[in-house]
C-alpha cells in the first residue's frame, strides 16, 4: 500500500490570475502617469490655468474662461443682466480694456477650449495639480464670457464629473437662460436672476444694499471668506459695481 500522498500545489496570492491582472493594471496606470509627467512641457492648459491675478479669489481656485468678455455670447444675445437691467459695462470687460495682456490671454483660453475634449481637459488639469505646491481645490469656469452653446454645457458637466472624483469642485455663473441644464448633476451653476432644472442657485445684481430681497445672502466680494457660489440652493445678491 502506497502511503505517499501528493498534495495539490497552492498558488500564492500574488501569483493568482486575479492579482496578476490587478498588478498589471496598477503598473499600466503608473507607466501612464510617468509618461504624462514626462510630457508635462506639452500640456497646453498649464499656461492658461490660474487666478488671472484676481486678488478676490484664493490660489486654491483655478480659473478658466470659455470666451473673453468681448466675445461673450450672453452680451451678444441680450441676456447679460448687467447690460439689460443697468445699462452698465461688464466688470470682466473693464479688465480687458484696462490691462493689455488680459484679452489675448482669454482669447488663447477660448481657442484651447474649442479644441480640447472634456477628458483631455480634466487629465491636464489633474496633471497640473500634481505639480503644484498648493493644490487646486476648485475650478471656476468663466470669470469672463459664458457658455457658447449647448455642447459647452455638456463638456463642462463632464469635466466637473471627472474632477469631482478627485474632490475638486467645479462651479460657474451663467446668463444663458436659453440653454438646457437638465442633465447637469456635478457642475454647480448660479443662474443670473433665473433658475431652472439643473441650476439650483440664483445670483442677482441689485442697485444698492437696500434692494436686497428678504432672505437673500449678500456677496462679500471676497472668495477667501465665502464659498456660497460653490454651494447649491443659494440665493445671492451683489451690488452693481
d(Cα 131, Cα 40) in Å, to the nearest integer? Answer: 9
The answer to whether the beta carbons of residues 170 and 164 sit under 8 Å apart is yes
Q: What is the pLDDT of residue 81?
A: 76
- Residues whose CB is less than 8 angstroms from the CB of residue 141 and which lie 6 or more positions away in sequence, other chains included: 64, 65, 66, 156, 170, 171, 172, 187
pLDDT by residue, tens only, the chain of 241 residues: 544 544 444 444 444 555 555 566 555 555 565 565 556 667 899 999 976 556 677 788 999 999 999 999 999 999 987 765 666 677 778 888 898 999 999 999 999 999 999 999 999 999 999 888 889 999 999 999 999 999 999 999 999 999 999 999 999 999 999 999 999 999 999 998 889 999 989 887 767 677 777 877 677 766 767 777 888 888 777 767 6
**167 in the Ramachandran plot: left (φ > 0), alpha (ψ -120 to 50) or beta?**
left
Model confidence, pTM: 0.78
d(Cα 126, Cα 36) in Å, to the nearest integer? Answer: 10
> What residues does each domain of the chain span?
14-43, 48-239
Q: What is the pLDDT of residue 116?
A: 96
Q: What is the pLDDT of residue 215?
A: 75
The answer to whether the beta carbons of residues 89 and 76 sit under 8 Å apart is no
b/e burial code for range 218-230 (CB count within 10 A of at least 16 → b): ebeeebeeeebbb
Which residues, listed in sequence order, are joined to residue 189 by a DSSP beta bridge?
172
Which residues, listed in sequence order, are joined to residue 64 by a DSSP beta bridge?
141
Q: What is the pLDDT of residue 134?
A: 85
CB atoms within 10 A of CB 141: 25
Q: What is the pLDDT of residue 6?
A: 47
The answer to whether the beta carbons of residues 175 and 205 sit under 8 Å apart is no
Amino acid at each position: 500500500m502506497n502511503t505517499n500522498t501528493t498534495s495539490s500545489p497552492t498558488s500564492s496570492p500574488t501569483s493568482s490570475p486575479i492579482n496578476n491582472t490587478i498588478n498589471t493594471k496598477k503598473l499600466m496606470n503608473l507607466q501612464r502617469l510617468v509618461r504624462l509627467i514626462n510630457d508635462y512641457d506639452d500640456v497646453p492648459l498649464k499656461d492658461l490655468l490660474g487666478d488671472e491675478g484676481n486678488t478676490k479669489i484664493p490660489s486654491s481656485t483655478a480659473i478658466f474662461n470659455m470666451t473673453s468678455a468681448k466675445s461673450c455670447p450672453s452680451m451678444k444675445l441680450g441676456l447679460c443682466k448687467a447690460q439689460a437691467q443697468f445699462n452698465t459695462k461688464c466688470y470682466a470687460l473693464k479688465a480687458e480694456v484696462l490691462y493689455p495682456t488680459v484679452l489675448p490671454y482669454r482669447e488663447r483660453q477660448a481657442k484651447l477650449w474649442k479644441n480640447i475634449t472634456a477628458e483631455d481637459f480634466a487629465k491636464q488639469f489633474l496633471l497640473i495639480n500634481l505639480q503644484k505646491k498648493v493644490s487646486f481645490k476648485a475650478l471656476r469656469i468663466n470669470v469672463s464670457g459664458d457658455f457658447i452653446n449647448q455642447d459647452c454645457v455638456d463638456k463642462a458637466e463632464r469635466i466637473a464629473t471627472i474632477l469631482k472624483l478627485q474632490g475638486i469642485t467645479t462651479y460657474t455663473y451663467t446668463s444663458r437662460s436659453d440653454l438646457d441644464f437638465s442633465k447637469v448633476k456635478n457642475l454647480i451653476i448660479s443662474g443670473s436672476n433665473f433658475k431652472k432644472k439643473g441650476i439650483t442657485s440664483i445670483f442677482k445684481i441689485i442697485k444698492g444694499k437696500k434692494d436686497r430681497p428678504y432672505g437673500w445672502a449678500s456677496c462679500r466680494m471676497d472668495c477667501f471668506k465665502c464659498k456660497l457660489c460653490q454651494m447649491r440652493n443659494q440665493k445671492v445678491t451683489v451690488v452693481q459695481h
